Amino acid sequence: MFQICGEVSPGWEEVKAKFKANFESGADENAQLCIYHRGQKVVDLWGVAKGTDFNGNSLTLSWSSNKSIASIAMAWLVDKGHLEYHDLVTKHWPKFGQNGKDAIKVEDVLRHEGRLPAFSKPIPDEDLTRERIKTNAVGRLIEEQVPHEVHPESPREYHALTRGAILNEIFRRAHPQGWTIGEWVEEILYKTQGLDCHLGSSDPAVQDRFVCPRIRSLRYILLQALNPFSKDVFVGPKALLAMVRTVKKTSSKGNNNALFLASLRKEDKLHVIVKAMASKEVRRTEIPSANGLSTARGYAKLGAIIANRGVLGSGERLLSQTAVEKMEANPIRRPNMAILGVEDNFSQGGLCVFNKDLGEHHLAKSIGMLPRDGYIGWFGLGGSVFQYHPENQIGFGYVPTLLHWEDVGGARGTQLQAVALKIAKRIDSAR
């Protein structure tokens, strides 16, 4: 049993129907959905499983959806003149250049081309707290790393966890007061912009709203993938087989992200990793690639700000229009092994610019990557989505607690985004 709460503006009822259908099929248990269109909040929904106290203000992990927040933080530094995307990382962090890393640029790190998709040894959990980060506990480990040898035409090595750690070290060195990305999120997004977005917060008002995510078992996914009538699993047997092959291939190359945290170093079961990442101790750490907490409302409003070129209505400007355009500029298409070799299109600011050309790979649609034409941003493990659509000025946030590990392209969100874009285009054409 479930209950759908919240409201939608007239004309947006189809989004609510699609959202509700996910609960009816069992694809969702607790989830939030928020959409802005041309500066106005038009969808604000949350679904609640029976016996839970989940609501529109609840917080849960949304994983790699937070990578776009890290990108916006870096764009803020660019806007203030403290950083350029083409800068060598060593301009801001000289010791980073050890062991053959001296040619890596800031934009390389943002595009997952920094050649450090995994570290050689795990980081003690306590070293990822804000206090320990500022002692260079993480920075020293990164300085010691030797980059992978990568052919220019090889698939992109997705930096699932390491990207955020590297960016945090660059950010705090370039920031005039030495802030971490977590401090920027707290001071600029949360306190100044009023966005319900957090990273590494120990505030009880934040942590007391946390709802632990749940991930489905491998056995359940396999059985449902073989069932042609299943509506709550988003890939078929071919895509699942491709996932298994990809995991084996990347693990054999030393890209095991379970090694990132010391507390995970002996774990290879995804449900155990999810539980550990959701622990109170790890939630206090700063992993800008993975452990931020945001409501769908926070994501959607932030997306609306960026879609509107850096400001929403009479609110305080977050970024200049020039900074937004720089962040989106120079996207490069490359196959991404994290999404089964389907192409992504990361800009110099680290955002994926989705377009129809990304659908050429035979698995693009089956893993939920499409249709997303015109959206910009990324998505997270198990299904969360934080993206925006500049042309039709959509800000989109979708945050579920039921994680589908097979949903590597965010299929539930993709379907909702497609409905939202159809409605927005219809409304815009009638203006």
pLDDT, average across residues 12-17: 99
CA diameter of the chain:
59
Cα 174 to Cα 49: distance, rounded to the nearest angstrom: 44
**Model pLDDT, residue 362:** 58
Q: Of the given ranges (121-125, 171-175, 359-363), which has the lowest mean pLDDT?
A: 359-363
If one compares 151 and 316, the residue with the highest pLDDT of the two is: 316
pLDDT interval class at 347 (50, 70, 90): very high
Query: How confident is the model over 18-71, as pLDDT tens digits?
Result: 999 999 999 999 999 999 999 999 999 999 999 899 999 999 999 999 999 999
Q: What is the pLDDT of residue 339?
A: 77
Q: What is the pLDDT of residue 247?
A: 56
Q: What's the rounded Cα separation, in Å, for the pair 15 and 21?
A: 10
Which pLDDT value is given to residue 115?
96
Tell me the per-residue pLDDT of 320-339, one tens digit each, with 9 for 90 and over: 999 999 999 999 999 887 77
pLDDT (tens digit per residue) in 249-285: 554 454 555 567 887 655 556 777 888 899 999 999 9
Q: What is the mean pLDDT of residues 224-242?
A: 65
- Give the pLDDT confidence score for residue 44 in this predicted structure: 99
Domain extents for the chain?
2-198+213-429
Q: What is the mean pLDDT of residues 112-130?
A: 95
- When pLDDT is averaged across residues 375-381 and rounded to a whole number, the result is 96
Q: What is the pLDDT of residue 231?
A: 64
Class of domain 2-198+213-429 as given by CATH: alpha beta
Q: How far is CA 100 from CA 103, 243, 342, in A?
A: 8, 32, 29
Distance (Å) of CA 312 to CA 14, 121, 154 = 26, 43, 40
* Predicted local confidence at residue 90, as pLDDT: 99
Cis ω on the peptide bond leading into residue 335 (within 30° of 0)? Answer: no
CB 49 within 8 Å of CB 2? yes
pLDDT of residue 341: 76
Q: What is the pLDDT of residue 359?
A: 65
